[in-house]
Amino acid sequence: MKTRATDPPAPNTEHLLELTEWAAKLLADNPRPWPAAAAGVDRRIARDFFRAEGIGPLCHYTLQATGARELVPPPVWELLRQERQAATALELLRGHRDAHALRCLGEIGLKPLVLKGAAYARTIYPEPDLRPRCDTDLLFADRTAAEAACARLASEGYETAPNIVEGRFVSRQKTCFLPTAGGHAIDLHWAISNSHTFVRALPQIDLIREAVPLPALHPDAATLDPVRSLLFACVHLFGHERYGHWPRLLWLHDIYRLSKQLSDADWADFRDKAIPGRIAGICRHVLDQAGQWFPISPAAGLRAALIDAEADEVFRPDRLKSHLHFAWYDMVALADWGERRQWIRETLFPSAEYMRSKYATARITWLPLLYLRRSATGLARRLGLKNPSGP
């Protein structure tokens, strides 16, 4: 398509790299002048960069806190100021709705753990609006508790998102959303991950027993302890790589801030959980990634210990080069072939209710063909091939 003279210039690799390096230095409390290569970047390109990386509010706060406002051009400062204002208003609304949801769940005896962005915003960031998020993640003791939470939230006007594959091994979550007043989404998890390897590395009973209070969100709220928070952040970020979601700078900055909480004793605990959990290689990989942008300083000898353990792991970064590799090694991690057969059945043949929801316009007599179509397209994705049924 021909570009019009009025179209904004497209970002190039040099611009994005310069912006990323500038932002990383700033967020590591080492502010630099706005990069010369980005001086001619269109305001919309800069806006899209800050939004895509999720760091606009945080950059504004850091420039202000370090007295470095003059290091950026006035249009960039104004852009960041607007991003911060919008984030502040949105987080006030989300925080209120999160607190209300937790209060409602507490009324029926449920006290889930708050995960990811909603927890990070109130534990490792100076102000909650500095850590943007698109939803709230809650972890329950089991599926029964999550189902009860879903029913209670339904009485508050929440609806359950359709087209979610469910099963003992395939998916361990539901999404509830509030369709009115701008909406609000809550993911209800009954396991820390959909990856069996990660679930076994972070046992549910330990996560709940060692949870720490999160009073900044709600008097009865709780979240993961610092060591398990970093372990979880590592496996969560790595899991996104499986789908080609390259880690955003914000997620790497989470790793940096989480790591700053740990003492030498905590790093030893981190090592002693990662190695038996057989996620040493994944933790090493993620810490190395974050360390490319931020000054992460683990205890002496930690990286060497993780590398030594990584060599004996089956589920490790150098083997997970495609969706198929990830799925295969994750399936192998199941306890026996009975569980593996169930995983295969749930992956290729989800419930008829799900199929009717996903293919609502199809006739019920087409159900066998729809299963065949799903199996073929699912296999193609695992192999990294183009979806044979369409773009």
Residue ranges of the alpha helices (H) in the chain? 13-27, 43-53, 56-65, 74-107, 116-123, 143-154, 196-201, 204-209, 226-242, 249-260, 264-274, 280-291, 302-310, 323-332, 337-348, 352-358, 367-382
Q: Could you give the 3-state DSSP secondary structure of residue 245?
A: coil
How far is 239 from 139, CA to CA, in rounded Å? 17
Taking CA atoms, 345 is separated from 41, 69, 138, 173, in Å, by 51, 57, 27, 18
pLDDT at 162 over 80: no
34-48 mean pLDDT = 76
Tell me if residue 189 falls in helix, strand or coil.
strand
Average pLDDT over the chain reads 83
Separation between Cα atoms, residue 112 and residue 91, nearest integer Å = 20
pLDDT surpasses 90 at 9: no
**Confidence band (pLDDT; 50, 70, 90) for 271?**
very high
**C-alpha pair distances (Å), 3 with each of 13, 42, 130, 336:** 19, 15, 36, 57
pLDDT attached to residue 319: 83
Does 8 have pLDDT greater than 70? no
Any idea which of 157-161, 175-179, 319-323, 361-365 has the lowest mean pLDDT? 361-365
pLDDT range class, residue 347, cuts 50, 70, 90: low
Residue among 68, 3, 69, 70 at smallest CA distance from 42: 3
pLDDT of residue 161: 83
Q: What is the DSSP string of 99-149?
A: HHHHHHHHHTT--PEEEHHHHHHHHTSSSGGGS--SSEEEE-SSHHHHHHH
Categorise residue 10: left if φ over 0, alpha if ψ from -120 to 50, beta otherwise.
beta
Angstrom distance (rounded) from CA 210 to CA 226: 10
Angle at CA 259, nearest 5°, toward 97 and 116?
20
Percent of the chain clearing pLDDT 70 (strictly above): 79
Residue 112 in this model has a pLDDT that exceeds 90: yes
Quote the pLDDT of residue 333: 72
Q: Is the pLDDT of residue 311 over 70?
A: yes
The first and second tokens of residue 270, run together, are 């981190």
The predicted pLDDT at position 349 comes to 64
Going 186 to 352 to 384 to 281, the CA torsion angle's sign is: positive
Q: Which of 11-25, 83-97, 353-367 has the lowest mean pLDDT?
A: 353-367
pLDDT in tens, 193-207: 888 889 889 999 999
Q: Which of 306, 267, 262, 260 is CA-nearest to residue 283?
A: 306
Mean pLDDT of 349-353: 58
Does residue 379 have a pLDDT over 50? no
Which comes out higher in pLDDT, residue 158 or 380?
158
Calculate mean pLDDT across residues 149-169: 80
- What's the average model confidence in pLDDT over 231-249? 81
The number of beta carbons lying within 10 Å of the beta carbon of residue 292 is 9
Higher pLDDT, 152 or 381: 152
Q: For residue 32, what pLDDT is reported? A: 93
pLDDT at 3 over 50: no
Provide the CA 242 distance to its chain's centre, in angstroms.
12
DSSP characters for 260-300? HT--HHHHHHHHHHHTTTT-HHHHHHHHHHHHTTS---PPT
